[in-house]
Amino acid sequence: MAVKAIGMFEKLNVPMLGVIENMSYFECSKCTEKHYIFGQGGAQKISEKYNLPFLGEIPLNSGIMTGSDLGKPIMLTQPDSASANAFTSSAKNIAAQCSIQAIRMQEEMEAEAPAST
Ligand SMILES: [Zn+2]
């Protein structure tokens, strides 16, 4: 699914900032282990295959779903949870990639613009 989407974006020339893995793992309350219910490292492999930055992994948290239905993001309902922290660090990585893309676009525009005298 994700690989198909990447192929489509490449065809349409849509720039991709990177890969974020949703439902990466489950942090259960019974132990301190991360349970990788859907397998581990899938998004990391995709980011390496397509040479895209890996931006983060968002753990499973039932609060994300219930909060989304109520319009209450996990950042507000459980600000200290692993999921909220993962959103914060992923957002920082996205912001960094936006800056990198902006610099690249500016450099491309400057290279294409006729030299001013
Ligand atoms: Zn457990």
| pLDDT per position as a tens digit, 84-102 | 999 999 999 999 999 999 9
Compute, in angstroms, the gap from residue 28 CA to the centroid of ligand 1.
5
Q: Compute the C-alpha angle 36/46/11, nearest 5°.
A: 140
Compute, in angstroms, the gap from residue 34 CA to the centroid of ligand 1.
7
Compute, in angstroms, the gap from residue 31 CA to the centroid of ligand 1.
4
Residue 111 scores a pLDDT above 70: yes
Give the environment of ion ligand 1: residues with CB less than 5 A.
28, 30-31
Which pTM does this prediction carry? 0.80
Fold of 2-112: Rossmann fold (3.40.50)
CA distance 51 to 30: 37
Mean per-residue pLDDT for 69-85?
A: 92
Compute, in angstroms, the gap from residue 30 CA to the centroid of ligand 1.
5
Q: Which two tokens stand for residue 13?
A: 């020339």
Q: State the chain's maximal CA–CA distance in angstroms.
A: 70
Cα of first residue to Cα of last residue in the chain, in angstroms, is 51
Q: Taking the domains of the chain in order of start, what are their residue ranges?
A: 2-112
pLDDT value of position 116: 64
